Amino acid sequence: MGWLSKVEQPLVARASIAVWRTFCDVDLSDAAETRWPSLHACFVRRLRPGARTFRAQGHQVAAPCDGIIVASGRIDSDSIVQAKGRRYSIAELTGGEGDAYRGGSFVTLRLTAGMYHRFHAPQDGRVDRVRYFPGDCFNVNPPTLKRVDRLYCRNERATVRMRLADGTPILLVPVAAILVAAIRLTFLDTVRLLRERAEPIVTCDVPLVQGEEMGWFEHGSTIVLLLPAPFVPAAGVTTGDRVRAGDVLFERVVVEDI
């Protein structure tokens, strides 16, 4: 599927894009371009300037991508909600990085096939650690989430640790999914990382400003965000809601108000 999507032949490109748009809810009205050499180029499209507004203030963290809120809430123990009736371990999801976020909060965003598939820095900060996990490519749609245990822990994924200006760590966990199952980071050669490192962990120091592009998915996908206390989901963040990159997802509250 990955090979076919990258075929740069006008008839193939037009036909495959037309089929994709027929079966998926695809909105190309805010794309930076109007023609693409392949289905892949259309899928990983960039948006025109100003199509997304990142408006999180210093005590807030924005959505890094467009998506549907699958689950959200407090992290009271090692496990968080995958879907109704199913939970999974954040220690397994992150390879042991979850302790810093106990007592904090999480939000899970699912990107449907027709959505914009690039993701961005949710606040000003620096990326200081990336770990890549090869894995499966289960679909991340609601029926599969209800059927497959520990789905996010089994799929290809990465943990991207970012520190805010005051040193607070936040963790973005991009999870790949069906068909192509590939994650690409703008500041790291993820293909080389997978091929050449026995232990795919990288320490780095990458400064990012809110809204700056961090990477993209080659196909279906999810991002799990883990934040420590005293961050909580922002008012109005509700399971099932659609959000756009830049919408406020978390707010920092004073400890007495938690």
Annotated catalytic sites, by residue?
66, 120, 221
| Closest C-alpha among 131, 137, 127 to residue 194 | 131
Rounded distance between C-alpha atoms, residue 150 and residue 168, angstroms: 28
Cα distance between residue 161 and residue 225, in whole Å: 10
C-alpha distances out from residue 201 to 17, 30, 190, 191, 231, Å: 36, 35, 11, 13, 27
**DSSP code of 25?**
-
Residue 168 CA to residue 212 CA, distance in Å, equals 19
